With several copies, the nearest count.
Chain A
Amino acid sequence: STHTAQADDPFRVAVVMPSATNDLAFSQSMYDALLFVQEEMGEDNFEFVFQDGTFVVDDAAVALREWALEGYDLIIAHGSQYGAVVEEIAIDFPDTSFAWGTDSDTFGFDNVFAYEAASDQGGFVNGYLAAQLTESGVLGVIGPIETGDAKLYVDGFVAGAVYGDEDITVNVNYIGSFSDVALAAEAAETHVANDADVLTGSAQMVVGAVGVAIDQDEQVLWFGTQANQTSLAPELVVASQVYHWEVVLMDMIELIQDGTLGGESYSLTLENEGLTIEFNEEFEVDEELLDEVDSLIEGIIAGDIPTLMEEDSE
């Protein structure tokens, strides 16, 4: 197989992802983006293969190397845990373009793209909204492990909540696992027992927490991130921060087709519309509040409102 893409060959992308493509979270956000791009470019011009559920890094390493040997045009390692692997393999295949995230480090290679999500921005908006909607004044957050975009989201959420109400209590709980649904459920129970009436969380194990929120007698609200989580709990979800990796993908594809294989580092932001806040249409929110959110987003885009608190950025 040859590396040089003929004009009439389709653009071929291969992706490895840590969880299922329909997890309503991190992996789905990439999968949806790939489908979007395929729609956009047409099936004849864009092909992709993927391997999902690859949380084990060395399984991913094998897949990445295989794909590199097969001459894919762009190989994406969708997960911050894959960085070291990408760094190692990218050296061996200087003519292949790699992309990985979420991170900003291209290792100084000109065949590696990096992408991340400024998930603190959407987190900030969600946190602000949560502070307005809570009646108990207590919010609960369920995180997996304190790294990557999950940490950014959680930190942004806390900052936004405090920005909305200085006296608010935000209880944060990292359960130490991306997969333990039952523990996530129990963390939600713990939050509720400590009076939280608004919950949020990041990563694929949060379905457990959503389930608990649904089962409460008193209404408990939910804020989503990474993908639109409205379908999980149509009654409780207020809004979700949604990742639109297609913004990044389209740009990378263009660069690659023009001969630039990497070196660029991307970030999804509210500004470039890689991040959007999608409201649940079933859930009634005051017009007034929606206006506040709009101006909040403008402020964030303009850089007037910092989305991380001082101590967090240390």
Chain B
Amino acid sequence: MLSDILTASVIASAIRLATPYIFAGMGETFGQRSGVLNLGVDGIMLLGAFAAYYAVLETGSLLFGVMAALATGMLMGLVMAFVSVTLQAEQGISGIGLYLFGLGLSDMLYQRLVGTPVHVDGFPRVDIPVLTDLPVLGEIFFNHNFLVYVAFASVPLSAFVLTRTTFGLKIRAVGQNPEAADAMGVNVARIRYFTVIIGGAFSGIAGASLSIALVNFFQGNLTAGKGFIAVALVYFGAWRPYWVMAGTLLFSTVDALQLQIKTLENALNLDIPNELAVMAPYVVTLVALIFASKGVEKPTALTKPFERGE
């Protein structure tokens, strides 16, 4: 029975649904690893989604769309970095402020500049010569739009940067013990600016993966809170890129399964009580919680501004 439900198309669906979370989650991982909690991800995603959508609408160029999303995201990241690193404002608050800002501004710009939903030609599905035609694997893995691949490629890349490069070492040190990093000549503020701006770029592209790849439309609050879930998934994955990805896939698979179950319920006369479908994500969340969250190496300086004695 499970194979009736957990079909190739469900897994493919889970992979697509995971895309915006993975982008946003990787970006947030960088920020949090360096000690900055950016709760404004959702707001940046919205602005990035709008920027990409509007650029594609006006120019027809997907490249411009992606660049607009990246630039917008980085600009918002810069704002967050300035407020939380330089002004040392409480990160929880500044993040919420940024979110509200992005939510309001993206909606306002959309109403002003576009108004009524217009479809854009977003990233098409990529046909990879041999792979796409593989029986099951083709549908699951090789039948997605370009940004899906980019998202999944960003996971090993992020892990590599964090663990294998000097930059990654600095990020981890700054997130664990900024005083020590500072004493060793690491510029704490600069590293945090970098990570938060990188996080912004990721969030921007996460938004674009919705507006110019997945749905190819924009509307107010397009993200419907996905940025916040991405932040939760970063905790969930204990700040490790592969774990964040695994958690995201778990989460999105449950979502995709739910869609499938609801769709097939009457069609196949499956005897699945609706409650099961509704409760599944929470049960999964709770179980994973108990397994995942103890003994985690949290960036101990998370949310703590750093200021040298004088």
Contacts and interface: CB of A to CB of B under 8 A. Distances in A.
The answer to whether A and B touch in the complex, with CB atoms under 8 Å apart, is yes
Contact residue range for chain A?
35 or more
Interface in A153-186: 169-177, 179-186
B228 interface: no
B13 interface: yes
Interface stretch (A66-74, A112-120, A239-247, A292-300): A66-74
A268 B190 CA distance: 60
Contact of A172 (B124, B214, B266): B266
Nearest to A69: B9
Contacts of A55: 224
A48 B263 CA distance: 10
Interface string A53-78: 10111110111011101100000000
B117 interface: yes
A9 to B, nearest CB: 13
B210 interface: yes
Interface string A30-60: 0000000000000000011101010111110
A183 B14 CA distance: 11
A194 B117 contact: no
Nearest to A86: B119
Interface string A7-38: 00000101000001011100000000000000
Nearest to B252: A186
Contacts of A250: none
A69 B13 CA distance: 12
B58 to A, nearest CB: 17
B267 interface: yes
B230 to A, nearest CB: 13
A145 B108 CA distance: 12
Contacts of B16: 62, 186, 189
Nearest to A184: B215
A217 to B, nearest CB: 8
Contacts of A14: 263
A210 B122 CA distance: 13
B111 interface: yes
A211 interface: yes
A66 B13 contact: yes
A84 B216 contact: yes
B215 A191 contact: no
B51 to A, nearest CB: 17
A179 B256 CA distance: 17
B260 A208 contact: no
| Chain B residues touching A, majority SS | helix
A87 interface: yes
B217 A208 contact: yes
A215 B216 contact: yes
B12 to A, nearest CB: 8
B305 interface: no
Contact of B9 (A65, A174, A207): A65
A24 B260 contact: no
A231 B267 CA distance: 32
A83 interface: yes
Nearest to B119: A84
B267 A169 contact: yes
B255 interface: yes
Contact of A181 (B17, B124, B224): B224
Contacts of A260: none
Given A145-B220, A181-B215, A24 B117 contact: yes
B20 interface: yes
Given A24-B117, A177-B224, A186-B17, A47 B267 contact: yes
Contacts of B264: 171, 194
Contacts of B215: 57-58, 61, 84-85, 181-182, 184-185, 207-208, 211-212
A81 interface: yes
Identify the interface centre among B20, B217, B265: most chain A CB within 10 Å of its CB: B217
A88 B256 contact: no
Given A49-B266, A69-B9, A194-B267, A182 B17 contact: yes
B119 A214 contact: yes
A301 to B, nearest CB: 27
Contact of A22 (B116, B124, B216, B223): B116
Interface in B262-283: 262-267, 278
A24 B214 contact: no
Listed from nearest, the 7 A-B pairs whose CB atoms lie closest are: A193-B9, A84-B217, A84-B119, A211-B216, A208-B215, A180-B224, A207-B217
Given A48-B266, A233-B119, 19 more contacts: A22-B115, A22-B117, A49-B263, A59-B255, A65-B9, A81-B219, A83-B119, A174-B262, A181-B210, A181-B215, A181-B222, A184-B215, A186-B259, A194-B267, A204-B219, A208-B215, A210-B119, A214-B216, A232-B119
19 contacts: A22-B115, A22-B116, A58-B215, A61-B215, A83-B117, A85-B215, A87-B119, A107-B119, A173-B262, A181-B219, A182-B214, A184-B215, A185-B214, A186-B259, A190-B13, A190-B256, A193-B12, A194-B9, A194-B263
Interface of A: 12, 14, 20, 22-24, 47-49, 51, 53, 55-59, 61-63, 65-67, 69-70, 80-81, 83-85, 87-88, 107, 140, 145-147, 169-177, 179-187, 189-191, 193-194, 204, 207-208, 210-212, 214-215, 231-233
